[in-house]
């Protein structure tokens, strides 16, 4: 789609997150690799518990102990960032990497004015005086479509509606001009009527500025509408990744197929992920081989033995030994 994947903003290689628990070592993220180009939006889908948030938190350096990055590499514009000290990582947050969370109602400090939260962020990362920071804060609110920004900057969060608060959150995330934004289910907590507006806003602002976006969501409609590529996660591993139109039309991984294909409305928006019989295995009880095998109609002996298939199994598109060949299925 014309995105420069040769010089990605974000590049994950074999990222692995571990949690030490009494019941053993868990891997909520296991060998995940992908790139996001400048201005590109990568949609990440998967059942809850698949490790999507963990991946995002690992990238921005906000894993809660005992979770930690145990292997692989995270590169931002070519620079390794998973090895940075916590203070160096703190400086990157907000300035290079922004993150938007699910619930705009609770993301803003209730006791501070919207304007104060903006200016403190701006002044943390940019060398600006109080007045210049205020100007910039007003411009940031204006850009996300908050009317009368000059007055609303003095409002407290509770004086904003849910949609307005999420706009303010977007303004806060973008105000120091990061090159990567991680949006973790940014519209799940919102009214259906404002979801589309927020996604459109996020898409427009990031496109304009060439910001790379990692968009975690449950909503295939959102993915179809906003994403350039889609990545499907299952039990901490990447199941399938590819161009959004291609994957939605012809998913190759049986899990992606079950999740996505039976939703004819996918490109029309608002379609939710389909339920597949059975449940994702717990991290404490991952089977040998492919984690999806127990729920998979195509599973054979090879799927249940030895190492789990990785994306290379299908030339980098799916992690499946027996991917769906669409010529054969559609015939």
Partner 1 sequence: MLAYILRRAAQSVLVLLVVGLIAFSMFRFIGDPIDNMLGQEAQQEDIDRLRTELGLDAPLLVQYVRFLSSAVQGDFGVSYGQGRPVADILAERAPATLELALVSGTLAISFGIVFGVFTAIRRNGFAAQAIMSLSLIGVSLPTFLIGILLIYVFSVELGWLPSFGRGETVELGWWTTGFATRSGLLALILPSITLGLYQMTLIMRLVRSEMLEVLRQDYIRFARARGLRTRTVYFRHALVNTLVPVTTVIGLQLGSIIAFGIVTETVFQWPGLGLLFVNAIQFVDIPVMAAYLMLISVMFVLINLFVDVLYFFIDPRLRVDRSEASA
In the complex, which residues of this chain contact partner 1 (CB under 8 A)?
60, 62, 90-95, 98-99, 101, 103, 106-112, 120-121, 124-125, 156, 158-159, 169, 172-173, 176
With CB under 6 A as the contact rule, the residue among 7, 48, 106, 154 that binds ligand ADP is: 48
Q: Using CB distances below 5 to 8 A depending on partner kind, what does residue 209 bind out of partner 1, ligand ADP, Mg ion, none?
A: none
Q: Which 8-state DSSP code applies to residue 285?
A: G
Residue number of the CB atom closest to Mg ion: 53
Residue 101 binds what, of partner 1, ligand ADP, Mg ion, none (CB under 5 to 8 Å, by partner type)? Answer: partner 1
Of 52 and 253, the one with the shorter C-beta distance to ligand ADP is 52
> CB within 8 A of 105, min separation 6: which ones?
162, 165, 189
Site for ligand ADP in 18-47 (CB under 6 A): 19, 21, 26, 28, 46
Q: 153-156 contacts: CB < 8 A, separation 24 or more?
A: 153/113, 153/114, 153/115, 153/118, 154/113, 154/114, 154/115, 155/113, 155/114, 156/110, 156/111, 156/112, 156/113, 156/114
The item of partner 1, ligand ADP, Mg ion, none sharing an interface with residue 107, based on CB under 5 to 8 Å by kind, is partner 1
Task: Answer yes or no whether residue 54 interacts with ligand ADP by CB under 6 A.
Answer: yes
Does the protein bind Mg ion through residue 55 (CB under 5 A)?
no
Per the listing, tokens 């127990």 go with 294
Provide, rounded to whole angstroms, the least separation between the CB of residue 82 and ligand ADP: 17
* Contact of 26 with 282, CB cutoff 8 Å: no
Q: How far apart are CA 110 and CA 164, in angstroms?
A: 14
Of the residues 51, 98, 258, 309, which one makes contact with ligand ADP according to CB under 6 A:
51
Reduced to 3 states, what is the DSSP secondary structure of residue 36? strand
């Amino acid at each position: 789609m014309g995105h420069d994947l040769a010089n990605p903003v974000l590049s994950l290689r074999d990222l692995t997150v571990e949690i030490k628990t009494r019941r053993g070592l868990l891997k909520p993220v296991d060998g995940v690799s992908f790139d996001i180009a400048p201005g590109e939006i990568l949609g990440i889908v998967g059942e809850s518990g698949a490790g999507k948030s963990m991946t995002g938190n690992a990238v921005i350096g906000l894993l809660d102990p005992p979770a930690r990055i145990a292997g692989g590499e995270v590169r931002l514009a070519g620079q390794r960032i998973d090895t940075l000290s916590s203070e160096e990582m703190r400086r990157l947050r907000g300035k290079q990497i922004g993150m938007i969370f699910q619930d705009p109602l609770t993301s803003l400090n209730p006791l501070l004015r919207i304007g104060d939260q903006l200016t403190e962020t701006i002044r943390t990362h940019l060398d600006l005086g109080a007045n210049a920071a205020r100007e910039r804060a007003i411009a940031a609110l204006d850009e996300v479509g908050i009317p009368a920004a000059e007055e609303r900057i003095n409002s407290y969060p509770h004086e904003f509606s849910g949609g307005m608060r999420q706009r303010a959150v977007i303004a806060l995330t973008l105000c120091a001009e990061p090159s990567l934004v991680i949006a973790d289910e940014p519209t799940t907590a919102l009214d259906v009527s404002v979801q589309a507006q927020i996604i459109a806003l996020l898409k427009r602002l990031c496109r304009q500025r060439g910001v790379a976006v990692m968009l975690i969501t449950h909503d295939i409609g959102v993915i179809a509408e906003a994403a350039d590529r889609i990545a499907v996660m299952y039990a901490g591993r990447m199941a399938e990744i590819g161009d959004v139109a291609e994957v939605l039309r012809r998913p190759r991984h049986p899990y992606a197929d079950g999740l996505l294909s039976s939703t004819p409305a996918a490109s029309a928006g608002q379609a939710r992920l389909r339920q597949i019989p059975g449940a994702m295995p717990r991290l404490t009880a991952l089977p040998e081989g492919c984690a999806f095998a127990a729920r998979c109609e195509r599973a054979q002996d090879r799927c249940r033995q030895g190492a789990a298939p990785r994306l290379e199994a299908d030339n980098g598109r799916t992690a499946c030994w027996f991917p769906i060949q669409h010529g054969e299925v559609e015939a």
